[in-house]
Structure 1
Amino acid sequence: MIKVATTGYPRIGPKRELKKALELFWKNKISESELEKTAKELRKQNWQIQKTNGVDLISSNDFSFYDQVLDTICLLGAIPKRYKWNEEKVSLKTYFAMARGSQNKELDVPALEMTKWFDTNYHYLVPEFSADQTFRLSSNKPFDEFNEAKSLGYITKPIILGPLTFLLLGKSDTQGFKTLNLLDKILPIYKEVIGKLSDLGAEWIQIDEPILVKDLDEEVISRIKPTLNELKKASKNSKILITTYFESLDKKIHEKLSTSDVDAIHLDLVRGAENKNYIQNENKILSLGIIDGRNIWKSDLNSKIKFLQQSAKSENEIIISTSCSLLYCPYDLDLEKKVPEEIKRWLSFSKQKLNELNLIKTFINEGDKNIKKELEQNKLDILDRQNSKLIHDSSVKKRLKTIDSSITKRKSSYSQRSKIQQDIFKLPKFPTTTIGSFPQTQDVRQARAKFKRGELDSESYKNFLKDKTIDVIKKQEEIDIDVVVHGEFERNDMVEYFGEHLKGFTFSSSGWVQSYGSRCVKPPIIYGDISRSKAMTVYWSKFAQEQTKKIVKGMLTGPITILQWS
Structure 2
Amino acid sequence: MITTATIGYPRIGPKRELKKALESFWKGDVSEAELQKTAAELRKSVWQVQKDNGIDLITSNDFSFYDQVLDMICLLGAVPERYKWNGDDVNLNTYFAMARGSQTKDLDVGALEMTKWFDTNYHYLVPELKKDQNFKISSQKPFDEFNEAKNAGFETKPVILGPITFLLLAKSIDGSSTIDLLDKILPVYKEIVKKLNELGAKWIQIDEPIFVKDLNDGVVSKIKNTLNEIKSSAGESKILLTTYFESIDKKVKDEVFASNVDAVHLDLVRGEKNKDYIKNSNKTLSLGVVNGRNIWKSDLSKIIDELKEVSDDFIISSSCPLLHSPYDLDLETKVPGEIKKWLAFAKQKLQELNILKENINHGKAKDQLSENKADIEDRKKSKLIHDEAVKTRVKTINDSVLNRVSKYEERANIQREIFNLPLYPTTTIGSFPQTKDVRQARAKNRRGELSNEEYEKFLEEKTIETIRQQEELGIDVIVHGEFERNDMVEYFGENLKGFTFTSSGFVQSYGSRCVKPPIIFGDVSRPNPMTVRWSKFAQEQTSSIVKGMLTGPITILQWSFVRDDQPRQTTAEQIAFAIRDEVEDLEKNGIRMIQIDEPALREGLPLKRDDWNQYLKWSVNAFRISAAVVKDETQIHTHMCYAEFEDIIESIAALDADVISIETSRSRMELLKTFEQFKYPNEIGPGVYDIHSPRVPNKSEMVELIKKASKQIDPKRLWVNPDCGLKTRGWPETLDALKEMVAAAKELRG
TM > 0.5? yes
Q: 307, 313, 316: which is aligned to 1:320? A: 316
Q: 2:148, 2:478 → 1: CA distance?
A: 56
SS of the aligned residue for 2:522 comes to: strand
What is the deviation of 1:297? 0.8
Q: Which residue of 2 aligns with 1:187?
A: 186
With structure 1 as the length reference, what TM-score do the two structures score?
0.94
Q: Which residue of 2 aligns with 1:136?
A: 136
Question: Once the two structures are superposed, what CA deviation does each residue of 1:337-379 show, in whole Å capped at 9, x if it has no partner?
Answer: 1111111101100110011111111222122xx3111001001
Q: 2:346, 2:529 → 1: CA distance?
A: 36
Question: Once the two structures are superposed, what CA deviation does each residue of 1:308-355 show, in whole Å capped at 9, x if it has no partner?
Answer: 11x31x2x2211110100011111111111111111101100110011
Does 2:369 align with 1:379?
no
Q: Which residue of 2 aligns with 1:390?
A: 384
Moved more, 511-520 or 405-414: 405-414
SS of the aligned residue for 2:549 comes to: coil
Moved more, 498-507 or 434-443: 434-443
Q: 2:497, 2:426 → 1: CA distance?
A: 36
Q: Which residue of 2 aligns with 1:467?
A: 461
Moved more, 457-466 or 157-166: 457-466
Question: Once the two structures are superposed, what CA deviation does each residue of 1:494-513 show, in whole Å capped at 9, x if it has no partner?
Answer: 11111111111111111111
8 Å contact kept, 2:227–2:259: yes
Q: Which residue of 2 aligns with 1:159?
A: 159
Does 2:112 align with 1:112?
yes
What is the deviation of 1:177? 0.8
Q: 2:71, 2:474 → 1: CA distance?
A: 46
Moved more, 49-58 or 20-29: 20-29
Q: 430, 434, 441: which is aligned to 2:428? A: 434
Q: Which residue of 2 aligns with 1:39?
A: 39
Q: Which residue of 1 aligns with 2:642?
A: none
SS of the aligned residue for 1:157 comes to: strand
Does 2:302 align with 1:303?
yes
Matches within 5 A, 1:546-557: 546-557=540-551
8 Å contact kept, 2:359–2:366: no
CA distance change for structure 1 residues 414 and 96 in 2, over 3 Å: closer, same or farther?
Answer: closer
Q: Which residue of 2 aligns with 1:268?
A: 267
Q: 1:371, 1:442 → 2: CA distance?
A: 47
Return the letter of the residue paired with 2:444: K
Q: Which residue of 1 aligns with 2:347?
A: 351
User: What RMSD in Å do the two structures reach over aligned CA positions?
Assistant: 2.0
Q: 2:468, 2:118 → 1: CA distance?
A: 41
What is the deviation of 1:530? 1.1
Q: 1:90, 1:413 → 2: CA distance?
A: 54
Q: Which residue of 2 aligns with 1:16?
A: 16
Q: 526, 530, 536: which is aligned to 1:542? A: 536
What is the deviation of 1:114? 1.7
Return the letter of the residue paired with 2:488: M
Does 2:197 align with 1:198?
yes
CA distance change for structure 1 residues 89 and 250 in 2, over 3 Å: closer, same or farther?
Answer: same
What is the deviation of 1:206? 0.5
Q: Which residue of 2 aligns with 1:331?
A: 327
Q: 1:387, 1:526 → 2: CA distance?
A: 16
Q: Which residue of 2 aligns with 1:80?
A: 80
CA distance change for structure 1 residues 414 and 17 in 2, over 3 Å: closer, same or farther?
Answer: closer
Unaligned runs of 5+ in 2: 561-750
Q: Which residue of 1 aligns with 2:232?
A: 233
CA distance change for structure 1 residues 438 and 28 in 2, over 3 Å: closer, same or farther?
Answer: closer
Q: 1:321, 1:296 → 2: CA distance?
A: 15
Unaligned runs of 5+ in 1: none
Does 2:139 align with 1:169?
no
SS of the aligned residue for 1:554 comes to: strand
8 Å contact kept, 2:98–2:110: yes
What is the deviation of 1:458? 1.8
What is the deviation of 1:58? 0.9
What is the deviation of 1:413? 4.5
Q: 524, 528, 549: which is aligned to 1:530? A: 524
SS of the aligned residue for 2:551 comes to: coil
What is the deviation of 1:296? 0.8
Matches within 5 A, 1:285-296: 285-296=284-295
Does 2:258 align with 1:259?
yes
CA distance change for structure 1 residues 441 and 284 in 2, over 3 Å: closer, same or farther?
Answer: same
What is the deviation of 1:229? 0.8
With structure 2 as the length reference, what TM-score do the two structures score?
0.72
SS of the aligned residue for 2:241 comes to: strand
Q: 1:550, 1:86 → 2: CA distance?
A: 51
Q: 1:430, 1:84 → 2: CA distance?
A: 36
What is the deviation of 1:451? 2.5
Return the letter of the residue paired with 1:465: L
CA distance change for structure 1 residues 282 and 459 in 2, over 3 Å: closer, same or farther?
Answer: same
What is the deviation of 1:482? 4.5
Q: 1:396, 1:425 → 2: CA distance?
A: 37
Moved more, 79-88 or 11-20: 79-88
What is the deviation of 1:117? 1.0
CA distance change for structure 1 residues 413 and 186 in 2, over 3 Å: closer, same or farther?
Answer: closer
What is the deviation of 1:246? 0.8
Alignment identity in percent?
Answer: 69
Matches within 5 A, 1:358-369: 358-367=354-363
Q: Which residue of 2 aligns with 1:94?
A: 94
What is the deviation of 1:490? 2.0
Q: 2:136, 2:476 → 1: CA distance?
A: 54
Q: 1:274, 1:548 → 2: CA distance?
A: 57
Q: 1:181, 1:280 → 2: CA distance?
A: 35
What is the deviation of 1:252? 1.0
Return the letter of the residue paired with 2:448: G
Count of residue correspondences: 560
Q: 2:68, 2:413 → 1: CA distance?
A: 52
Moved more, 414-423 or 499-508: 414-423
Q: 1:283, 1:492 → 2: CA distance?
A: 51
Question: Once the two structures are superposed, what CA deviation does each residue of 1:34-74 show, in whole Å capped at 9, x if it has no partner?
Answer: 22222222211111111121111111111112211111112
CA distance change for structure 1 residues 29 and 408 in 2, over 3 Å: closer, same or farther?
Answer: closer
CA distance change for structure 1 residues 34 and 286 in 2, over 3 Å: closer, same or farther?
Answer: same
Q: 1:415, 1:100 → 2: CA distance?
A: 40
Q: Which residue of 2 aligns with 1:458?
A: 452
Q: Which residue of 1 aligns with 2:727?
A: none
Q: 1:429, 1:173 → 2: CA distance?
A: 33
Moved more, 487-496 or 23-32: 23-32
Q: Which residue of 2 aligns with 1:52?
A: 52
Question: Once the two structures are superposed, what CA deviation does each residue of 1:274-299 show, in whole Å capped at 9, x if it has no partner?
Answer: 11111113211111111110111100
Q: 1:439, 1:140 → 2: CA distance?
A: 37
Question: Once the two structures are superposed, what CA deviation does each residue of 1:97-137 show, in whole Å capped at 9, x if it has no partner?
Answer: 22222222333322222221111111111112122211111
Moved more, 528-537 or 450-459: 450-459
Return the letter of the residue paired with 2:211: L
